Structure formats: C-alpha cells, structure tokens
Amino acid sequence: MTSSFKYGAIGSVIHAMTNSEIGASLATLTLSGLSSEYDNTTNAYIECLVNLQLGSAAFVAGNVFSLFCLPSRDLAGAAYPTLRTYAQETLYNYKIADIGIPGTTAAQEVNFWPVIIPPGKMKFFCATSGTSCPALAASGNLVDLYPYYKSVA
C-alpha cells in the first residue's frame, strides 16, 4: 500500500507584522523594522499561507510586497544576524514571499502560499519595490500567517 500526503490541521493565526512593525508610510526600496519574535519551536509548522492587507495607496501594476524571515542564529532566539539597509543587505537569503500588488488605489488583501517557515524562533521584515511604487498607507497594513502541517496517510 502506498502512502499519500495530505494537509493536517490549520494552526492559530500568527500576526507576523502589525501596522506599526511594517512602518506607517514605508517607502519603496526601504526595509521595515523587525517584527516581534515568533516562536515556532513547539508547533514546528513547516508551511503557511500569507494573508497580506495593505491600506489604500496609489499602487500600479508591477508593484511588489516582499516578506522576509530572519531566523535566530541558534534557532533559540539568543542572537540574530545584523540587518543592514535595503541596498546593503543580501535579501535573497531571507526572502520567503514576493507578493504582487494589484494596480489600484483601493485597499488590498492578497493571499500567497505555500510559504516555508523554519523551526525555532524568528522575526519578520518587509519591503516594497516596483516601478512607481508608492509609500504604504499610514494605516491598514497587516501580515498574518496561517500555518499548517503536512502529514502522511
């Protein structure tokens, strides 16, 4: 008999980045600050769906919201690598999602999956990019993660 993979239970929502952590009016090609620490030690989720909510701004086609994950150096939260500026940082080392932003001035809500997250403790940060990408709105910005397991049946 062969085994098959299936999705397991969906975990509690992880509020990865709040409006204040994303940074009110975050300018394009600028990194946000680091989020609060998330501890994935006990649950050890492997993947998640990312729910991105952005307040109203003058978005155009081709704008991108990038989400990054900075795992602690020892996965126990004792120390984190130093985060530099957008121009100095090797962002591909930490990128977990590039989410296209629809070209409209209306508030946005976009889902993106699957996103792999590491075990242990981590923090998140973000940036926006793209031609004529506006600064983010001062409110209405949020990143939530909906983690889930994969299991073998």
The predicted model scores a pTM of 0.91
- The answer to whether the beta carbons of residues 143 and 52 sit under 8 Å apart is yes
- The answer to whether the beta carbons of residues 11 and 148 sit under 8 Å apart is yes
Which H/E stretch holds residue 97? strand 95-101
* pLDDT given at position 131: 83
Structure tokens at 11: 């975990």
Q: Return the closest-CA partner of residue 77 out of 47, 34, 115.
A: 34
**Alpha helices (runs of H) in 66-120, residue ranges in sequence order:** none
Tokens 């506006």 map to which residue? 134
In 3-state terms, what secondary structure has residue 93? helix
- What is the tens place of the pLDDT at every residue in 7-31? 888 889 999 999 999 987 788 899 9
Q: Enumerate domains of the chain plus CATH numbers.
A: 22-152 (2.60.120)
- The answer to whether the beta carbons of residues 18 and 145 sit under 8 Å apart is no
* pLDDT given at position 76: 92
